[in-house]
Amino acid sequence: MSLILLWELQELDLAIGVLTDKFEGNPLHQEVEDAAARLDRVEEELEQGEQLLQEQRKRLRRGELDLETISAEREELHQRLYSGEVKNIKELEQMEIKLGSVKQKQLAQEEELLSLMEAIEEQEELAVALTRQKKEGAVELHDWQRRLEEELALLGGELAKLQEQRDRLTEQIEPDRLRLYDEMMQRHQGRGIARVINDICQGCSVFISSAQRGFLYDPAALVYCENCGRLLVRFTGEETKAKQADSQQG
Ligand SMILES: [Zn+2]
């Protein structure tokens, strides 16, 4: 009977393997990672944008002070030029030229400030859009995280149940049979036990030789498939039912 238990153990281990893959390789992990990366990019862009905005505002303040200085200079020149204080023609000409260049300077400064203000406005709009994207990204990330957590909790619960079943099952199997099981599993990539149905090994679909067939009815015998090397287990539906009834009584 314990060979049937080994086969059941293999079934359980295969189911545990499938669940573990779903747990560890869950596609929601990737979704969470992608959403986190998207949020990171938006946050980085927003941070850079805000830095740039700070620099632009600083430049604007400085430029406005410069403009005030230039305007004051122009005002002063203008007043002196038309105050009648200066009579010397040469000096007046010089002042006129100077006033002209200060006017040019003022115009250029005003133009620069204007384009700077436009750039700031653009940057502010970008910051608003990025802030909205950041909020949306955070919601999206949180949503994926919640879905992943729910999924993992579900899978974790199923895994715990199977693990519990496995613990109960292995308690019923002799230690040397468990060692044999581990050995067969290693040798055959997790499918070291094969059922025999209608004299065919279910591991490799090859007929069992008549010499071996007889041994399969001996519950104490260990019979290996001559073709694939798997440990063979033969049980009928009746045996399965009987076994289930046994375990229910026990
Ligand atoms: Zn085989």
Determine the average pLDDT of the residues in 67-71. 97
Indicate if the pLDDT at residue 84 is higher than 60: yes
Cα of 133 from ligand 1 centre, angstroms: 59
Strand pairing report for 193-197 and 200-201: antiparallel
> Which residue segments constitute the domains of the chain, with CATH numbers given?
18-170 (1.10.287.1700), 174-249 (no CATH)
Q: What are phi and psi of 117, to 5 degrees?
A: -65, -40
Percent of the chain with pLDDT over 90: 83
Cα of 202 from ligand 1 centre, angstroms: 6
Give the pLDDT confidence score for residue 244 in this predicted structure.
Answer: 59
- The H or E element that residue 195 is part of is strand 193-197
pLDDT tens track for 212-229: 888 887 777 899 999 999
Q: What are phi and psi of 40, to 5 degrees?
A: -55, -45
pLDDT tens track for 85-108: 888 999 999 999 999 999 999 999
49 Cβ neighbours under 8 A, 6+ residues apart: 123, 126, 127, 130
Q: DSSP letters along 102-116, please?
A: HHHHHHHHHHHHHHH
* Mean pLDDT across the chain: 92
Cα of 159 from ligand 1 centre, angstroms: 30
Cα of 56 from ligand 1 centre, angstroms: 77
| Cα–Cα distance, 248 to 90 (Å, whole number) | 122
Cα of 199 from ligand 1 centre, angstroms: 11
Measured in Å, how far apart are the chain's first and last C-alpha atoms?
Answer: 14
Higher pLDDT, 239 or 153: 153
